[in-house]
Amino acid sequence: MAKVIEGLFYAESHEYVRVEGEYGYIGITDYAQSQLGNVVYVDMPEVDDEVTAGEEFGAVESVKAASDLFSPVSGTVVEINEALEEQPELVNADAFENWIIKVKLSDPSELDNLLDAKAYEAICE
Amino acid sequence: MNNVYYGKLVFELSKPGRVGYSLPKSEISGYCISEMPDVLKRQSKTILPECDELTVVRHYTNMSNNNFGVDTGFYPLGSCTMKYNPKLNEELCALPGFNRHPSTPVEYVQGSLKVYDEVQRTLAEISGLSRFTLNPYAGAHGELTGLMVIKAYHQQRGDEARTKIIVPNSAHGTNPASAAVAGFKVVEVKSLPDGTVDVEDLKPLLGPDVAGMMMTNPNTLGIFERNIPVIARLVHDCGGLMYYDGANLNPMLGVCRPGDMGFDVMHINLHKTFSTPHGGGGPGSGPVGVRKGLEHLLPNPQVEKKSDGTYDLHCDEKSLGCISSFLSNFTVIIRAYAYLLSMGKENIPMAGKLSVLNANYIKECLRSHYLLPIEGLCKHEFVFDGLRPEYGGDHHDPAHVTTLDVAKRLLDYGFHAPTIYFPLLFHEALMIEPTETESKDTLDDFIAVMKRIAEEARDNSEMVRTAPHDTPIRRLDDVKAVKEPKFTFKNL
Amino acid sequence: MYKYFPHTTDDIQQMLDVIGVKSLDDLYAEVPEELKLKRELDIPSEKSEIEVRRIIGGLAAQNKPLVCFAGSGSYDHYTPSVVPFLASRSEFSTSYTPYQAEISQGTLQYIFEYQTMMADLTGMDLSNASMYDGSTATAEAMLMCVANAKKRNKVLISATCNPQVLRVVETYAHYHGVELVKVPAADGVMDKAVAQELIEKDDVAGLIVSQPNYYGIVEDFTGLADLCHAHKALFAVNSVASSLGVLRTPGEWGADIACGDAQSLGIPMNYGGPYIGYLCTKNELVRKMPGRLVGATTDAEGRRAFVLTMQAREQHIRREKATSNICTAQGFMCLFVASYLSLMGEKGLREVNEQSYAGAHYLHDALLKTGKFEDAFGPKPFLCEFTVRVKGDAAELRKALAEKGFLLGVETEGMPGCLTIAVTEMRSKEEIDSLISNI
């Protein structure tokens, strides 16, 4: 059974946002990493790039599949998780600990459109 | 093919002082590359090996013994049409008379130009279209060329708004990729449970921004799209053109032509339908055909037959441009010509029918053991969705035996595996295309082995999950191959 | 039944019975009647092997031979007999893309060797194995530049590239929506001052140059790589593969991408194809690289073995987001190149270039001595190909020589009255002398 954590915001496309003040940490869920299998590469945007809710900002690759990453919220990328450049398998080890990008939220009201843990758990079944 | 792993690289056979070539003694003296300015000369030594002739011959011969081809055994790789490659064709394409410089004046290559023109005409008749270019080098290159034809058609009408290409979600990956390279946006149309295009899902996608739609018929599930007249009319009514991906042309030969189905532009894979060897993945050949009225858009140069019966090269100002250095993968064209001449009008249609017979026969014989997601007649190929649950194939069970496992176990029994995990519509897709050149005896052997693997999966799943056991090497660590990439000998 | 069909009448009947249909035609029951072709195909009747051999052999014989002094993208180099012999092994030729690595080590190994050799010849880190020819490889190099730059859409290309290459790159640029700008030539070489001015505008994704160029001239690219990199543009060099045995490599010029045609490495001219394009790059750019890549790994028993890798870049997985639509692995031609270079080695490749150099310079000097030719651009360094201006009608001269059995170069595009002429190690002194005496 895939792990789901209370207090995060979830997108139906299997990304999460952990909000800390005006920033959001975006990654893929435990369910998403388990479906993908061994992650071998994470294609990330650059710092200062703009991301838009519902639009693609990168991709996660396993050996024989690739999955586009859709941003659950809009904002500006302030940090990327550089550890994933060398060790993409960290996403498999703990998808919630190993976020992919940190974004300064431009419209926190977008969070209202996302799912809570319980609702997300339901769509993973 | 044998099972003793060879595994050496030619660099490991090198010894200083060995030579594998001979050139005439130069009769011209007084000129030497050392005269050139130093800045223009190579600074470093090369890694190239030093080998005598027999060492090289034995090296590649040993390597070939670790390789499986159509001549080795049954190769039911779905969507790839691995039919027999006649040997006569190899002899003829290697005739010294065809080895000409591509800029030879046309008067001196009339024979070659005739081959080109005859193949072009034959393909047009088989397809029900007006004219073909043979210049594209491969199926995907043909797709790209065909999409350029579609774009050029709209642009020359002054219609710049058509930016979208519609592609079924069951399409080959090259379709959306080619559309993207040609500068189109890709819009996917859904499939119905029977695998055919959902016409109701298509309708709202159609509009003044649609340049065209790409389809293959039969589709990638081997199912004939019987709504094709309706789909073609809808797309034409909105001003778009219909593109036929010829990957699955084989079963339709002489029975039903893309031009008659309503397609405007298409490509043919000569290495699939017309028996030219696949060569480890290339060179292929992807001729593109168009309906009447679009001929002038085909890429330059074109071969033209003049009224006096001679041949010339011709460039059209309205052409989409050039897509190749010269005039096609010419020796592949010669092979296809030999095949077309040999087979003739009697046997070309028979090839299609027997390919359909073979596919349906395997499907009916194996559906007791493998999950058949779509009922009814298939054409040249069909898809199973893995093993049936009672044979260990229930993919809700984490310990289930996968399609990958079945594919690997087949290698132990001396068969090439079918195409796996394509199309993406099914979880455990196993796509089988036998082709017409395989006998009932071979198919019966294959069927018996497939049943035996299903029984093994039920009774001794570990055996299947750890397959192959009897091949030159065992399963490979492909995660390591990506994470610790080694692309050259220097990286080892 | 025909010789390529193994079915007996009994077999067909038994199979139809299993399927539950009455005839072969009933296998098409779902195809709407109005779509069916209700006549025979209008193509010739089947023919025996003897007849096919006669017809196609006759057409080959219609092609009259000319002693080849032309290059311009296709070179008449020597192909050792071992090369086509090995390539004809049907375990190689009748296989497909090596998806099942356990029974495809032969293909995977020779592609790995090919990748090693091309990366080494070009001085780059890695090579793919998927390009159709030099022109399309250069177009892919352009697409790589744009994909890498993300926000820039302009690529510069030297006007001294072979026009065949330029036309194909222009086609790809037009349809893909890349702004392709030609850097003009000055005196037969790219005008570096113009290139610098354009690159300094900081909106260029890449610069593509050519070596040796269309006119045969070996250009000096000193400073170009640094200039490109200072302005965040990629630097790509298009070369004739064989020349890389002796000329400064793209890697040594500081290039990010090396591209071109490898026909010159043992592949016959074949009236234009099949050839193989090469595309090599640095490790940093591997994910922008189109096409098949073979990598080394280990099998379940720890043995070194080879496999298609980095497939998540490719069309069958990424679909419209792939780096390219390339599906081909140009295996058969990789085998030509790998076995050719295994036989030739560094010494053989150097000797091929030395003999071509000597022959070309000997012919060049002899032509000038006749007084009927002059250098198109004054004296310039060249390897095995050069461009001369004919004092008189170049087209007529070429035609007259063809009647005498010689293919004297190609008419230089954009340079009326000029011919671009090539000499390889295949041309004996006797043939060159005979050509000169016929002028």
CA–CA distance, C21 with C103 (Å, rounded to integer):
37
Compute, in degrees rounded to 10, the torsion defined by CA atoms B423, B428, B433, B438: 170
What are the start-end ranges of the E strands in B231-330?
241-245, 265-267, 288-290, 302-305, 311-314
Residue A1 pLDDT grade (very low, low, confident, very high; cuts 50, 70, 90): low
Q: What is the pLDDT of residues B469-489, one digit of tens each?
A: 999 999 999 999 999 999 999
Domain count, chain A: 1
- Angle subtended by helix axes B53-64 and C331-369, to nearest 10: 150
Residue C176 forms contact with A (CB below 8 Å): no
Mean pLDDT across the stretch C329-353? 97
Instruction: Scan residues 97-156 of B and list those with Cβ closer than 8 Å to C.
Output: 97-105, 107-112, 114-115, 122, 125-126, 128, 137-141, 143-144, 147-148, 151
pLDDT top residue among B197 and C316: B197
What tokens were used for B440? 């009932």
Q: Which residues in A lie closer than 8 A to residue C321 (C-beta atoms)?
A: 59, 66, 68
| pLDDT of res. C135 | 98
Count of CB pairs separated by less than 8 Å, A with C: 19
Bridge partners, B256 (sequence order): C36
Q: What is the pLDDT of residues B136-173, one digit of tens each?
A: 999 999 999 999 999 999 999 999 999 999 999 999 99
The candidate with the shortest Cα–Cα distance to B11, out of B61, B59, B57, is B59
Which pLDDT tens digit goes with each residue over B292-303?
999 999 999 999
The verdict on residue A123 lying in a domain is no
> What tokens appear for C31 in the block?
């195809």
Structure tokens at C16: 């139809």
The predicted pLDDT at position A37 comes to 87
User: How far B447 CA sits from the closest chain C CA (Å)?
Assistant: 13
Subunits touching C (CB < 8 Å, at least 3 pairs)?
A, B
- The chain B residue lying nearest C121, using CA atoms, is B46
- Using the predicted structure, report yes or no on whether residue B459 has a pLDDT greater than 70: yes
**E strand or H helix that includes residue B233:** helix B228-237
The phi and psi torsions of C420 (rounded to 5 degrees) equal: -105, 120
What would the two tokens of residue B389 be? Answer: 């649950």
B483/A64 CB distance under 8 A:
no
Per the DSSP assignment, residues forming a β-bridge with C407 are: C68
DSSP-based three-state secondary structure for C35: helix
Q: Do A41 and B479 touch (CB under 8 A)?
A: no
Place of tokens 């009916």: B364
pLDDT tens-digit series, residues B310-358? 999 999 999 999 999 999 999 999 999 999 999 999 999 999 999 999 9
The interaxial angle of helices C9-19 and B440-459, nearest 10 deg, is 40
Report in angstroms the alpha-carbon separations of B52 from B16, B56, C83, C109, C339: 11, 7, 13, 19, 12
Interface test with B, best of C47, C49, C76, C96 (most B CBs within 10 A): C96
Closest CA to B471 of B80, B72, B85: B72
Residues of chain B with Cβ-Cβ distance to A60 below 8 Å are none
* Mean pLDDT (chain B, rounded): 97
Q: Write out the two tokens for C350.
A: 């150097």
pLDDT for B21-79, tens place per residue? 999 998 999 999 999 999 999 999 999 999 999 999 999 999 999 999 999 999 999 99
DSSP string, C316-359: HHHGGGSS-------HHHHHHHHHHHHHHHHHHHHHHHHHHHHH
Instruction: Select the residue of B77, B107, B472 nearest C96 (Cβ to Cβ).
Output: B77
Asked whether the beta carbons of residue C317 and residue A65 sit closer than 8 angstroms, the reply is: yes
On the question of pLDDT at C339 being above 70, the answer is yes
C279 closest CA partner among C125, C127, C123, C120: C127
DSSP A88-120: TTHHHH-TTTS-SEEEEES-GGGGGGSB-HHHH
**Does A90 reside within a domain?**
yes
Nearest to C311 among A43, A59, A64 (CB): A64
Q: Which residue of A has its CA nearest to B398?
A: A1
Which residues span the domain enclosing A64?
A: 9-109
The pLDDT tens digits for C195-246 are 999 999 999 999 999 999 999 999 999 999 999 999 999 999 999 999 999 9
Q: Which domains does chain C have, with CATH numbers?
A: 9-54 (no CATH), 67-78+348-437 (3.90.1150.10), 82-338 (3.40.640.10)
pLDDT for res A125:
72
Q: How many CB pairs under 8 A join B and C?
A: 694
Q: Using CA of residue B71, residue B74, residue B79, residue B81, what is the dihedral sign?
A: positive
Cβ atoms of B170 and C161 within 8 Å: the answer is: no
- Is residue A2 pLDDT above 90, yes or no? no
Residues from chain B that touch A61, judged by Cβ atoms under 8 A, are: 482
Question: Is B346-483 a CATH 3.90.1150.10 domain?
Answer: yes
Q: Using an 8 Å CB-CB cutoff, list chain A residues near B483.
A: 40, 88-89
Q: Kindly report, residue by residue over B73-122, the tens digit of the pLDDT.
A: 999 999 999 999 999 999 999 999 999 999 999 999 999 999 999 999 99
Q: How far apart are CA B203 and CA B376, in angstroms?
A: 26
Which of A:90-109 have CB within 8 Å of C? none
When pLDDT is averaged across residues B365-380 and rounded to a whole number, the result is 97
Question: Which residues in chain A touch residue C311, judged by CB atoms under 8 angstroms apart?
Answer: 63-64
Q: Residue A47: which pLDDT band, with cuts at 50, 70 and 90?
A: very high
Q: Is residue C311 within 8 angstroms of chain A, CB to CB?
A: yes
Is C23 a residue whose pLDDT tops 90?
Answer: yes
Task: Label residue B397 by pLDDT band (50, 70, 90).
Answer: confident
Task: Check if the beta carbon of residue B166 is closer than 8 Å to that of residue B236.
Answer: no
B window 368-427, beta carbon within 8 A of C:
376-377, 407-408, 411, 416-417, 419, 422
Q: Which residues of C touch A64 (CB under 8 A)?
A: 311-312, 317
Q: Environment class of residue C209 by beta-carbon count within 10 Å: exposed (0-12), middle (13-18) or buried (19+)?
A: buried
Residue C18: its H or E element: helix C9-19
- Distant-in-sequence, close-in-space partners of B204: CB < 8 Å, separation ≥ 6: none
pLDDT more than 90, % of chain B: 96
Any domain includes A47: yes
Residue in A41, A63, A89 closest to B478 by CB: A63
Question: Cβ of A33 under 8 Å from any chain C Cβ?
Answer: no
Q: Residues A44-58: what's their mean pLDDT?
A: 93
Q: Contact at 8 Å (CB) between B150 and B310?
A: no
User: For a pLDDT cut of 70, what percent of chain C falls above it?
Assistant: 100
Residue B459 burial (C-beta neighbours within 10 Å; 0-12, 13-18, 19+): exposed
Give the whole-angstrom CA distance, residue B151 versus residue B301: 19
* Distance of residue B482 Cα from the nearest chain A Cα, in angstroms: 7
C-alpha span between B110 and A113 (Å, rounded): 69
Q: What is the mean pLDDT of residues B213-242?
A: 97
Give the Cα separation of B314 and B301 in Å (integer).
Answer: 6
What are the Cα distances from residue B11, in Å, to B15, B487, C89, C347? 9, 14, 21, 15
**Given this model, what pLDDT does residue C150 score?**
81
Beta bridge partners of C206: C155, C234
pTM listed for this prediction: 0.97
pLDDT digits (tens, 9 = 90+) for C63-122: 999 999 999 999 999 999 999 999 999 999 999 999 999 999 999 999 999 999 999 999
CA geometry: angle B93, B96, B102, nearest 5 deg: 80
Q: What is the pLDDT of residue C314?
A: 87
- A83 touches C: beta carbon within 8 Å: no
Fold of B87-342: Aspartate Aminotransferase; domain 2 (3.40.640)
* Averaged pLDDT score across all residues of chain C: 97
Question: Considering only CB atoms, which chain B residues are within 8 Å of C52?
Answer: 88, 92, 338, 341-342
Token digits of residue B400: 């289930």
Q: Give every strand in the sheet of A50-51, ordered side by side.
A: A9-10, A15-20, A23-28, A101-105, A75-80, A50-51
C183 forms beta bridges with C158
Which residues of chain C lie closer than 8 angstroms to B226, CB-CB? 30-32
Angle between helix C331-369 and helix C105-122 axes, rounded to 10 deg: 30
* CATH code, domain carrying A66: 2.40.50.100
Q: Do A66 and C312 touch (CB under 8 A)?
A: yes
- Model confidence band, residue C321 (pLDDT cutoffs 50, 70, 90): confident
A65 contacts chain C (CB < 8 A): yes
Q: Which three-class secondary structure state does DSSP give residue B332?
A: helix
**A119 near C CB under 8 A:** no
Tell me the shortest Cα–Cα distance from B48 to chain C, in angstroms. Answer: 5
The pLDDT score that the predictor gives to residue B5 is 97
Using the Cα atoms of residue C17, residue C23, residue C24 and residue C28 in order, give the sign of their dihedral. Answer: negative
Q: Where are the domains of chain B?
A: 2-65, 87-342, 346-483
Do the beta carbons of residue A111 and residue A64 sit within 8 Å?
no
Contacts of B427 (CB under 8 A, 6+ apart): B385, B386, B395
